């Protein structure tokens, strides 16, 4: 294999916005855990600060790449796998709006409006690319394809509390609809076609995220536990079990930035479990959420360490 000797900035991937998603998810999970345990918000505040710093660094680097190496950004957009990660930018903004909401409603509102508008634009752009003249084959389909469309279910997390009820229902409807469509497509690809390449196997964990975040979005707009909320929560629990069965194989793979795909789905499952325990009084979900919170925190620390080590060695990209 010929080593890519282009400048590191030209190789800076849009997939690094998944680090912001993972850290935002950790912040929301820590805040939920602190609320459940009636603890001070020390850890969630620290996590929020780290998340903001990482978002600013990643955004600045990718914006500079877009200015200096426009062709490299275009190549990512034209790539059938990396295309799906562009909405991670708008999803990061929607998550940051949810993170900021307890501390400043005006800041949260401003971030949410920008994130929601960008999410709609990127969703339309990616879906138009999928159904346009570009030819895709089954090997291009991975669980990462959930990110562009299903990422819309994140909008209600802050949108509902900010008063954007109908807009939040709009985004949630899009996300749940495409979750069902893409789930059938992804399962078909995983069962009847070639296995995922090693570097993409961590994306299997993304299967957990749509129903888990869907549950959080649904209960944000429809407080309480109705049948739909229970279906979403139990779907997330089932996919969590499926992923746990596959996890030993995934963890034996060499580290790459794709391992950040583990972070946000795990955070979503953690927060969903803790919220379900609050709404239902279920001790099983209470302890499951706390155990997952511990695993999530350890996972993020390991991912940060390995990413920094990989960046220092020059092998990250």
pTM: 0.92
* Residue (of 239, 219, 241) closest to 230 by Cα position: 219
Bin 7: left if φ > 0, else alpha if -120 < ψ < 50, else beta: beta
* Other beta carbons within 10 Å of 274: 25
From residue 215, how far is each of 153, 237, 269 by CA, in Å? 9, 11, 10
Distance CA 266, CA 271 (A): 9
Distance CA 158, CA 168 (A): 9
Q: Tokens 């929607």 appear where? A: 94
Distance CA 211, CA 236 (A): 5
Query: Cβ distance 150 to 182 under 8 Å?
Result: yes
Q: Tokens 């998550």 appear where? A: 95
* Residue (of 38, 165, 144) closest to 91 by Cα position: 144
CA triplet 222, 223, 225: central angle to 5 degrees?
Answer: 95
Query: Cβ distance 177 to 117 under 8 Å?
Result: no
Distance CA 134, CA 301 (A): 39
From residue 286, how far is each of 271, 275, 278, 283, 299 by CA, in Å? 10, 8, 8, 5, 20
Distance CA 120, CA 124 (A): 6
- 3-class state of residue 86 by DSSP: coil
Which pLDDT belongs to residue 1?
Answer: 39
Distance CA 254, CA 191 (A): 24
pLDDT in single tens digits along all 317 residues of the chain: 344 557 888 889 999 999 999 999 999 999 999 988 888 778 999 999 999 999 999 999 999 999 999 999 999 998 888 888 999 999 999 999 999 999 999 999 999 999 999 999 999 999 888 887 667 777 778 888 888 877 899 999 999 999 999 999 999 999 999 999 999 988 888 888 888 887 788 888 999 999 999 999 999 999 889 999 999 999 999 999 999 998 888 888 888 888 888 899 999 999 999 999 999 999 999 999 999 999 999 999 999 998 888 877 766 66
The token pair at 76 is: 């990512």
């Amino acid at each position: 294999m010929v080593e890519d000797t282009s400048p590191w900035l030209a190789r800076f991937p849009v997939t690094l916005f998944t680090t912001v998603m993972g850290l935002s998810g950790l912040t929301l999970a820590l805040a939920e855990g602190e609320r459940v345990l009636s603890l001070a918000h020390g850890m969630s505040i620290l996590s929020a600060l780290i998340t903001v710093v990482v978002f600013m660094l990643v955004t600045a680097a990718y914006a500079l790449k877009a200015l200096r190496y426009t062709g490299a950004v275009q190549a990512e957009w034209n790539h059938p796998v990396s295309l799906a990660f562009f909405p991670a930018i708008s999803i990061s903004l929607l998550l940051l709006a949810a993170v900021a909401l307890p501390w400043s409603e005006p800041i949260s509102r401003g971030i949410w409006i920008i994130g929601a508008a960008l999410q709609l634009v990127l969703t339309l752009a990616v879906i138009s690319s999928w159904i346009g003249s570009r030819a895709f084959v089954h090997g291009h389909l991975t669980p990462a394809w959930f990110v562009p469309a299903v990422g819309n279910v994140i909008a209600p997390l802050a949108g509902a509390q900010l008063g954007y009820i109908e807009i939040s229902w709009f985004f949630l409807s899009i996300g749940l609809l495409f979750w069902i469509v893409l789930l059938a497509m992804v399962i078909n690809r995983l069962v009847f076609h070639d296995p995922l390449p090693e570097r993409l196997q961590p994306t299997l964990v993304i299967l957990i995220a749509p129903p888990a975040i869907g549950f959080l979005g649904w209960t944000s707009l429809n407080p309480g536990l109705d049948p739909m909320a229970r279906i979403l929560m139990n779907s997330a629990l089932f996919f969590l079990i499926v992923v746990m069965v596959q996890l030993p194989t995934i963890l034996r793979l060499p580290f790459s930035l794709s391992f950040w795909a583990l972070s946000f789905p795990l955070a979503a499952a953690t927060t969903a479990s803790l919220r379900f325990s609050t709404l239902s009084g279920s001790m099983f979900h209470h302890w499951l959420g706390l155990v997952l919170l511990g695993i999530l925190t350890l996972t993020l620390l390991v991912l940060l360490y390995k990413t920094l080590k990989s960046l220092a060695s020059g092998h990250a990209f």
